Amino acid sequence: MWIIDGHCDVLLKLWNSPDQHDFYEEDSALDVSYYGLCSTNSFMQNFAVFVPPRIPVGQRFLAAAQQIDIFYQKVLQDQSKMTLITNREELDDLRVTREKDDHTRIGAILSLEGADALQGEIAYLRLFHRLGVRSMGLTWNYANEVGDGIQEIRNGGITRFGHQVLGEMKKLKMICDVSHLSIRSFWDVMEHTDLVVMASHSNTRALCPHVRNLEDDQIRTLIQKDGMIGVTFVPYFVYQPANESNISHVIRHIEHICELGGADNIMFGSDFDGIEEKVTGLETTKQYSQFIHMLLQYYPSDLVEKWAWKSSYVFYSKAFS
Ligand SMILES: [Zn+2]
């Protein structure tokens, strides 16, 4: 079964320690590597650009630009293996190639985790779009020029500049990723019509009371807006105590989203290479095969196929057309 994954931080690792990692190395220590993706029959992987909060405000655009350069140099280095997906035609072409039983070509979507890299400049958003960025999370955990993240205790919403950014994202047909947003920012975003929304790596708060997880009314609203929810493998968002989290706990989050009416809105957003601790049995992208195998023991294959790639394929396809 093909896999589409909505979030990983491999670019951050390659940027932090360029000499330690090789994306194309067969026994790479990365959670997400080309051979790892191949071994698990990956169809497409979303690569996030993340600028850590320690980077001074004036240098955040540069840090993001450096990570995008790494994406082109080190991930898209062999374009017969990794193909950048920026529009519907490219997505359809990839599917045609894969259907010819060529499982060595994998799609790559580029995204920005946090609008901090814009440094308050709408021009930078358009430049990122030209460089291939097709989805953007507005904040990480803290406040930036666009709005507040979930760890800001004041729970502020979207700023005036943030609304301008959202307007421009609509024009550019960029996907708005709501993972990490404060509760108020989330609802401010939901007031926008015609905006394509997803939560690329968040679980359900009803099952695991972490602030990064989504409340039921947030999940229902994402479903109403045809948005996607990327069930994530971050132990702290899966189960508490985190060190006891396992695959069956991940499945419970899927089950809960289904109960809320979201069986067609589920995808996966592993957060691989962005996490030190792992869910037992879901340590790297290679374990996707076992995970799918386990899902097939509980659910019909057409449903598992939707979660694994089909629903997100349809979502990306609509977003890009
Ligand atoms: Zn994140």
CATH value at residue 270? 3.20.20.140
Kindly tell me the sign of the dihedral angle through the C-alpha atoms of 291, 274, 255, 247: positive
Q: What is the mean pLDDT of residues 279-285?
A: 95
* pTM over the 0.85 mark: yes
**How many A from CA of 199 to the centre of ligand 1?**
10
Q: Percentage of the chain surpassing pLDDT 90?
A: 98
Determine the average pLDDT of the residues in 306-319: 98
From ligand 1's centre to the CA of 270, what distance in Å? 10
CA of 51 to the centre of ligand 1 (A): 11
- Note the pLDDT of residue 299: 97
Amino acid at 142: Y
Ligand 1 midpoint to CA 140 (Å): 7
Question: Three-state SS for 113?
Answer: strand
Token pair belonging to 245: 């989290």
Residue 42, strand partner residues = 3
Tally the domains of the chain. 1
Distance 99 CA to ligand 1 centre (A): 32
Identify the DSSP state of 214: B
Does the pLDDT of residue 93 top 90, yes or no? Answer: yes
Asked if 134 and 174 touch (Cβ cutoff 8 Å), the reply is: yes
Q: How far is the CA of 107 from the centre of ligand 1 (A)?
A: 21
- 103 pLDDT band, cuts 50/70/90, is confident
- In angstroms, what is the C-alpha Rg of the chain? 18
State which residues form the domain around 291: 3-320
Q: Is the CA virtual torsion 26, 31, 37, 41 positive or negative?
A: positive
- Half-sphere exposure at residue 30, Cβ-oriented, CA atoms within 13 angstroms: 28
If phi > 0 it is left, if psi is from -120 to 50 it is alpha, else beta; for residue 32 that is beta
Write out the two tokens for 64. 């993001």
The pLDDT mean for the chain works out to 97
Mean pLDDT of 81-103: 95
Percent of the chain with pLDDT over 70: 100
How close is the Cα of 102 to the center of ligand 1, in Å? 32
